[in-house]
Chains A and B, each alone.
Chain A
Amino acid sequence: MDQNAVEVAGLTKAFGGVRAVEKVSMKVPVGQRRALIGPNGAGKTTLFNCITGTFFPTSGKIFLFGKDVTRLAEHRRTAMGIGRTYQITNVFHDLTVLENLILAVQGNSRQKWVMHRPVSAFSGSLKRAGKELDRVGLTDRTHDSVQHLSYGERRQLELALALASRPRVLFLDEPCSGLSPGERQRIAEIIREFPQDITVILIEHDMSIALGLADQVAVLHRGSIILEGTPDEVRANPEVREVYLGKV
């Protein structure tokens, strides 16, 4: 593929005097699995939020599939094919699992404006919702309220919501955070089975999962990218060991 799914050029985001992200440039080709690693406070989530449109960068440019989206509203970027999950589980607690999925499915269609027909009349979106639930293994929870889901199941739902909007680029913000080793493997398995044409950009603290899933890794430290390379190159790099894994 010659096209980049995501391109970031000289991106800076400052909160008051703190530069959370400073002059970051990065290109992610279509279909790549890219891991973003770095210690706490390195600016990974801020970089995500700038690219997905949660807030606008202080300076620099963002391109999605070659189109400049630096000043585009978040919901419009979603319509262009961005999907994301959140570090802190962000699902609809008072709704059922199925309703959560329907909201994700209809997000990019005109269906969200329909007022005169019940949700249950849209068999197409119900079917798609069911398929996404199947993919993350939540089919038996379809009609349960999210309140009754375990933390691990909510992380699975988080993934299902992002997938249900049929993204072309998926931003996963620590999908395994707070999970037991067994549950982590399960989430990693789900991510590995994503269709190959979906570009995945992943923040993950669990090194074995991050390096196991990624084709390319970018290491962030104090708001800047200090290294980009394959998982093996990253593992071997002494500087990364120092800032990320700690001095030996």
Chain B
Amino acid sequence: MVLRKWPLLFCAVAAALFAPLYLGPFWLSLLMQILIFGLLALSVELLLGHIGLFSVCQAAFFAVSAYTVAILQVKYGQPTIVAVPAGLGAAIILSLIYGIAVRTSGVYFILVTIALGHVFWGISWTWVSFTNGEGGITNVPAPAVGSLTITSHSSYYYIVLAVVALCVVGYRTLTRSPFGLTLRGIRESESRMRGLGYNIAAHKYTAFVLAGTLSGIAGLLYIYFNRFVSPANAEFFLSIEVALMVLVGGTGTILGPFIGSAIMLGLRNYVSAYIDQWMIVMGLIFIITMLWTPDGVLGVIRRLGVWGRTSHNQPGHRTPTPEEGK
């Protein structure tokens, strides 16, 4: 399995590194969106795939960092070096507050996160003097450090790629750590975990804040890509769409959210050319996924035997043991 994986990874890295050379502006822009929203979907995956919490407010953390950057840069003329840490800080603070949601579970958690997400969307919509309301904040300048300004899409692509790659490596490390294993234990049996000495609420809360931070990083990448933020970026609809990306791609993997992101954004671009109602198509995808491929595209591939098991369902140093009879 290892031998089969490395050439594939090498090809993917090479393809990603040289993408601006062979992709036109449209495709490069789509690729950046896939990476950014894939990262947002990865934050959903951390909660859904590991603890089994279905969070429907990740758009709020995404939007709060985007808004913070936009407002600081446009309204207060602050440089990127101030706006970016502030944006990340805003996402962390909001997730520390919204973390109270982990006191609930199951359907109640979903409902509470819908409500919390809606609160932020409502603020972005109604606080017109601060957020420009429905119009959103336009003309966010290109990111600049000192005299270096990143104006071209192809150079910004490398920043997106580097940040996403770092986040993926960090995510992989986290999910393989004792902390990651603890999260999967909570997903399997909360009562047993309590009986083994775990403070379930503390672990859930920490994971929630980590996921919020990851969403905030995606928001930072988005605002300098899009140069415009509006309440649409904080909508319930976006939270649902990224959750769907995870389900379509396949939970329990790192690749899944990105594959889901590629499928959803690719389809949206393709379908929008023919019919206006993208939402109807998204609804159909959702139903089809839930009914026939609940473990997503990767699940289908794995069932066909192309891939082995996902890496983080097993401890790092696994050696195959033949099933010996008792």
Q: Which residues of A contact B (CB under 8 A)?
A: 52-54, 73-75, 78-79, 83-84, 86, 90-96, 98-99, 102-104, 106-108, 111-122, 140, 142-144, 161, 165
Decide: A92 and B179 in contact? CB cutoff 8 A: no
Decide: A118 and B316 in contact? CB cutoff 8 A: yes
Nearest residue, chain A, Cβ from B326: A140
Decide: A103 and B193 in contact? CB cutoff 8 A: yes
Given contacts A75-B198, A102-B315, A115-B177, contact A86 B321 (CB under 8 A): no
Shortest beta-carbon distance from A165 to chain B in Å: 6
Given contacts A74-B194, A95-B184, A165-B197, contact A102 B317 (CB under 8 A): no
Q: Write out the residue numbers on chain B whose beta carbons fall within 8 Å of the beta carbon of A140.
A: 321, 324, 326
Decide: B196 and A104 in contact? CB cutoff 8 A: yes
Decide: A143 and B197 in contact? CB cutoff 8 A: no
Q: Is B323 an interface residue (CB 8 A)?
A: yes
Given contacts A92-B185, A94-B313, contact A114 B177 (CB under 8 A): yes
- Expressed in whole angstroms, the Cα–Cα distance for A41 and B195 within the complex equals 23
Q: Which residues of B contact A (CB under 8 A)?
A: 173-174, 176-182, 184-185, 187-189, 191-200, 203, 313-321, 323-324, 326
Decide: A118 and B321 in contact? CB cutoff 8 A: no
Decide: A143 and B320 in contact? CB cutoff 8 A: yes
Shortest beta-carbon distance from A46 to chain B in Å: 15
Contact of A114 among B178, B185, B316 (CB under 8 A): B178
Decide: A94 and B184 in contact? CB cutoff 8 A: yes
- Expressed in whole angstroms, the Cα–Cα distance for A75 and B202 within the complex equals 11
Given contacts A54-B191, A92-B185, A120-B315, contact A161 B196 (CB under 8 A): yes
Shortest beta-carbon distance from A17 to chain B in Å: 25
Decide: B313 and A98 in contact? CB cutoff 8 A: no
Given contacts A140-B326, A143-B319, contact A92 B198 (CB under 8 A): no
Q: Write out the residue numbers on chain B whose beta carbons fall within 8 Å of the beta carbon of A119.
A: 176-178, 180-181, 315-316
Given contacts A84-B195, A86-B192, A119-B315, contact A95 B177 (CB under 8 A): no
Contact of A78 among B174, B179, B195, B326 (CB under 8 A): B195
Of the candidates A75, A79, A86, the one having the most CB atoms from chain B within 10 angstroms of its own CB is A75
Given contacts A112-B182, A113-B179, A143-B321, contact A161 B194 (CB under 8 A): no
Decide: A91 and B184 in contact? CB cutoff 8 A: no
Beyond A122-B178, A140-B326, list 17 extra A-B contacts (CB 8 Å).
Answer: A75-B197, A75-B199, A79-B197, A92-B192, A94-B188, A94-B313, A95-B313, A96-B314, A102-B178, A106-B181, A107-B198, A115-B177, A119-B316, A120-B315, A120-B316, A143-B320, A161-B192
What would 11 A/B residue contacts be, using CB atoms closer than 8 Å? A75-B197, A86-B191, A103-B193, A108-B197, A112-B178, A112-B203, A113-B178, A114-B179, A116-B173, A119-B180, A120-B176
- Interface pairs A-B: 4 shortest CB-CB: A78-B197, A120-B316, A107-B196, A107-B197
Q: Write out the residue numbers on chain A whose beta carbons fall within 8 Å of the beta carbon of B177.
A: 114-119
Q: Write out the residue numbers on chain B whose beta carbons fall within 8 Å of the beta carbon of A90.
A: 189, 191-192, 195
Decide: B321 and A74 in contact? CB cutoff 8 A: no
Decide: A99 and B315 in contact? CB cutoff 8 A: yes
Decide: B315 and A75 in contact? CB cutoff 8 A: no
Q: Write out the residue numbers on chain B whose beta carbons fall within 8 Å of the beta carbon of A103.
A: 181-182, 185, 193, 196
Decide: B196 and A78 in contact? CB cutoff 8 A: yes
- Expressed in whole angstroms, the Cα–Cα distance for A161 and B195 within the complex equals 10
Decide: A74 and B188 in contact? CB cutoff 8 A: no
